[in-house]
Amino acid sequence: MSRFIGFLIILAGMAGCYFVYQDYAAKQKDKHNHWADDLRVLIQVHTSEARLDGKEETWFASDSSFFRIIGLMHEAEHHNYSVAETVKQATSGAGMTPGVAKMVADLLIENHRIAGQLGVYDDLQNMLRLERGEAPVSQAKGWEDEPLAVGFLLSPLVAPEAARSLANLVLMPKSMRDMQTDDLVGFTPDMSKKWLSERLITPESHQAILAILAAKKF
């Protein structure tokens, strides 16, 4: 009987060591998440491209890096890394203020969800397109074979300075992107105030937004 109890004690100890090791391995995996490092580089590349002057169609000049970011988030998930944690690690070291980093992280995670809903990751050709920085094609019901594009939360017609910010870019069907206007659907005065405080928009754009929103009430 004493041998049996001793065996159970040893077994319990081995199980405890196993779970401690699993927890340690998981933490080490997150700590050495090279997908976060790769994503951080792409985010910095996008930011750098967004500041270039003299390009034609500057609103869409950095679509390539945006698509590559979408693809890299899926790659991280495919290799069993948390997309949310990977993105948060990447943005926290990308040279942005904490407020902007959170806004960028939240929207990138949302874009990853949108890409999944549109069936982007269901098509191997889409993965190749994303890797090359090219627009993917929707596979979702009702949107089959619809080219996807980079749209905006806040129209560049109102705040051109925010046109390339990753806090402003949303993956959507190209036909929807082409119909976007300056009507500020879903944008609120509080959002404008937040964007102003984080210097994503200028005081002039903030006032223009408030004026548009006020006019819509009448």
* CA–CA–CA angle 161, 165, 171 (5° rounding): 125
Q: Is residue 12 part of a domain?
A: no
Instruction: Give the tokens for residue 32.
Output: 């050495």
pLDDT given for residue 1 in this prediction: 59
Residues ≥6 apart with Cβ < 8 Å to 89: 30, 33, 36, 40
Residue 115's domain comprises 33-175
Residue 114 lies in a domain: yes
Task: Say how many C-beta atoms besides its own lie within 10 A of residue 61's C-beta.
Answer: 15
Residue at 9 is within a domain: no
Domain-located, residue 28: no
Domain count for the chain: 1
Digits of tens for pLDDT over the chain (218 positions)? 566 565 556 666 665 544 544 444 445 454 578 999 999 999 998 887 655 444 444 445 569 999 999 999 999 999 999 999 999 999 998 889 999 999 999 999 999 999 999 999 999 999 999 999 999 999 999 999 999 999 999 999 999 999 989 999 999 999 999 998 888 888 899 999 999 999 999 999 999 999 999 988 76
Give the global pTM: 0.80
Does some domain include residue 165? yes
84, 73 contact by CB (below 8 A): no
Question: In the structure encoding, which two tokens stand for residue 176, read together?
Answer: 């929807």
Count of CB atoms within 10 A of residue 217's CB?
Answer: 5
